[in-house]
Amino acid sequence: MVKKYTYPILLRNENLEPYKLTECIDIRKITQAERETFFGLKNVKYAFDTQIAHVTIYSKSHSDTSKGMYPNEALFNRGLFDGSSDMQASNYVVHVETEAQDHDQIVQMLNLALKIFCPTSSGCYAGFSDTYIKFTLNYPLQGPFNYIYFEQKHFPEIQQLYFEIQNMWGNGRFSLVASLYDRALQGGKVPLDVRFLLLTIALESLYLPGVNIELQFRLCLRVAKTLNETGYGEKDTVFKEVKQIYAARSKLVHEGCTKAISKEMFCTLTNLVRVSLRTFLQNPGAYTENSFCSIELS
């Protein structure tokens, strides 16, 4: 039996043409009829915040004929706590139509592809069928990074990421690191230091398999040399960045000190994990202990 769900999504580019990402996933602009059906709103005017993942909704008109499956009042009340009212400003929809049992997995892979393309709070969180709302991931919309901007030419790159994630989905190591990365970028009132720890665990899981001595030096060296081969940064610069991150991680874990963790350091760590995940997808063999030992000796 074919199941059909439509997921509203918020993107910063207002001029994207419809795109068929896979045989079962289409992305296109939201229609007025869909906005009325989902939220009971005829129209929404909004502005993106330039600093954080948030939109300011400054004007909205209610539908005369529909209260909406997830009505404005319910979203507004919940949004006071978790930011989910941003969903009312969704300007695109992701339409998923498949016989597969697990729509959640399809949407999780798409959300992850967007986050690996660029750290973002954009994603699919509530899917609407004719009679039912499916909450794919039960967490707030607003995360530490802004809603995503990309151009039409970037769709094939996101599509390729989706297929790479799909092929790697059963890999336990990838699943762990991807889950840690994804959770660190989710919304809600999770403190920065907790997000930071999730990302450091992800980095160590990728680069220190089975290692229990000289952790800091080996992590710095392995990240710097591995990512340098992909064209990401100078080896010396990345080495110093990872060294600072690991020192901050040690102070946090062993002393409870959070002063060393800045937003800039968090963003640097996020990108290190993001690029590492992307590299792992393309060449998982580079992340074996034998490969790392060869790198250390080179």
Last residue of a domain, one of 136, 161, 186: 161
The residue among 213 and 162 whose pLDDT is bigger is: 162
Over residues 31-41, the pLDDT tens digits come to 999 998 898 88
Q: Tell whether 248 is covered by a domain.
A: yes
Query: For the chain, what percent of residues have pLDDT higher than 70?
Result: 90
Same domain, 11 and 135: yes
Q: Tell whether 239 is covered by a domain.
A: yes
Q: Are 205 and 289 in contact (CB under 8 A)?
A: no
Q: How many domains in the chain?
A: 2
Last residue of a domain, one of 161, 193, 213: 161
SS3 (DSSP) at 48: strand
Residue 256: which pLDDT band, with cuts at 50, 70 and 90? confident
Residue 53: which pLDDT band, with cuts at 50, 70 and 90? low
| Mean of the per-residue pLDDT values of the chain | 87
Same domain, 13 and 142: yes
- The 3-class secondary structure across 263-278, one letter per residue, is HHHHHHHHHHHHHHHH
Range of the domain at 34: 3-161
Gap between the Cα atoms of 256 and 258, Å rounded: 6
Which pLDDT score, from 0 to 100, does residue 226 have?
94
Q: Tell whether 70 is covered by a domain.
A: yes
Same domain, 77 and 191: no
Same domain, 41 and 98: yes
Q: Tell whether 65 is covered by a domain.
A: yes
Same domain, 147 and 211: no
How are beta strands 133-135 and 126-128 bridged, if at all?
antiparallel
Residue 176 neighbours by CB under 8 Å, 6+ apart: 202, 205
Last residue of a domain, one of 142, 161, 180: 161
Residue 207 neighbours by CB under 8 Å, 6+ apart: 218, 219, 222, 223, 226, 276, 287, 292
Average pLDDT over residues 259-280: 94
Which pLDDT score, from 0 to 100, does residue 196 have?
95
Angle, helix 215-228 to helix 192-207, in steps of 10 degrees? 80
Which pLDDT score, from 0 to 100, does residue 141 have?
63
Same domain, 177 and 286: yes
Which pLDDT score, from 0 to 100, does residue 85 have?
80
Which pLDDT score, from 0 to 100, does residue 1 have?
78
Residue 210 DSSP one-character state: T
The H-assigned helical ranges of the chain are 32-39, 72-82, 103-117, 155-168, 172-184, 192-207, 215-228, 235-255, 263-282, 289-297
- The sign of the torsion formed by the CA atoms of 65, 89, 108, 138 equals negative
Over residues 206-238, the pLDDT tens digits come to 999 877 778 899 999 999 999 998 889 899 999
Structure tokens given for 44:
């929404």
Which of the residue ranges 13-27, 201-215, 270-284 would you say has the lowest mean pLDDT? 201-215
Same domain, 68 and 206: no
- The 3-class secondary structure across 146-173, one letter per residue, is CCCCCCHHHHHHHHHHHHHHHHHCCCHH
Average pLDDT over residues 261-275: 94
C-beta neighbour count of 258 within 10 angstroms: 13
Which pLDDT score, from 0 to 100, does residue 65 have?
63
Same domain, 98 and 226: no
Gap between the Cα atoms of 188 and 199, Å rounded: 17
Same domain, 107 and 18: yes
Q: Tell whether 77 is covered by a domain.
A: yes
> Does 44 score more than 60 pLDDT?
yes
Same domain, 18 and 147: yes
Q: Tell whether 8 is covered by a domain.
A: yes
Over residues 56-106, the pLDDT tens digits come to 776 677 766 667 888 777 777 766 666 678 888 899 999 999 886 678 889
Q: Tell whether 166 is covered by a domain.
A: no
Same domain, 150 and 48: yes
Per DSSP, the residues of 83-123 read: SGGGGGG--EEEEEEES-S-HHHHHHHHHHHHHHHS--S--
Q: Are 96 and 127 in contact (CB under 8 A)?
A: yes
> Does 159 score more than 90 pLDDT?
yes
Residue 168: which pLDDT band, with cuts at 50, 70 and 90? very high
Same domain, 148 and 175: no
Q: Tell whether 16 is covered by a domain.
A: yes
> Does 139 score more than 60 pLDDT?
no
Residue 284 DSSP one-character state: G
